[in-house]
Amino acid sequence: MKKVRETLFVFLFGAVLYSLIEVAFRGYTHWTMTLTGGFVFLIIYSLNKKMSGTGLVLRCAAGCAVITAAEFIVGCVVNLWLDMNVWDYSGRPLNLMGQVCPLFCAVWFLLCIPAAGLSLAIARRLGDKSAVGKIRGNAVNGSRGKSVLMRRVLQNFTFRDI
């Protein structure tokens, strides 16, 4: 039951957060993007827990790949097959079928930076001992709070992993 609650919470958190981001930058969202945002954040959450000992750049690259793949699949279904016209990148350079493009791949990569910190913070809040505060394999003392976790996330973000 605890795992179901965790999954539901993370999905809803991602769905609401992505919808708010899209409304802030685009002015509106679509219900398919709300579902996609929840699904993608759930995958990124799991990915960050499993890769917590890995460098931030690698985790962001993996998250970017997940988001771009989901965007392409959902785009092919809702935009091309169902003709809902939720988005169209066909005017962007190097787009693939108007569903994904390099510009938004870069945006997704950058969005994965705070997503990594959020994933660990949520895991910590939900009491997950396997990924609590682990960044590059260093355990963060749970009693030190958010500032230590954020400092570790920022220390981990270097260009040596590129």
pTM of the model: 0.78
How many structural domains are present in the chain? 1
* Token code pair at residue 8: 């539901």
Q: Write a three-state SS string for the chain.
A: CHHHHHHHHHHHHHHHHHHHHHHHHHCCCCHHHHHHHHHHHHHHHHHHHHCCCCCHHHHHHHHHHHHHHHHHHHHHHHHHHCCCCCCCCCCCCCCECCCECHHHHHHHHHHHHHHHHHHHHHHHHCCCCCCCCCECCECCCHHHCHHHHHHHHHHHCCHHHC
For each of the chain's 162 residues, which pLDDT tens digit applies?
889 999 999 999 999 999 999 999 999 999 999 999 999 999 999 999 999 888 999 999 999 999 999 999 999 999 999 999 999 999 999 999 999 999 999 999 999 999 999 998 999 898 876 664 444 444 444 445 545 555 555 555 444 443
Domain that holds residue 34: 2-161
* Token code pair at residue 2: 């605890």
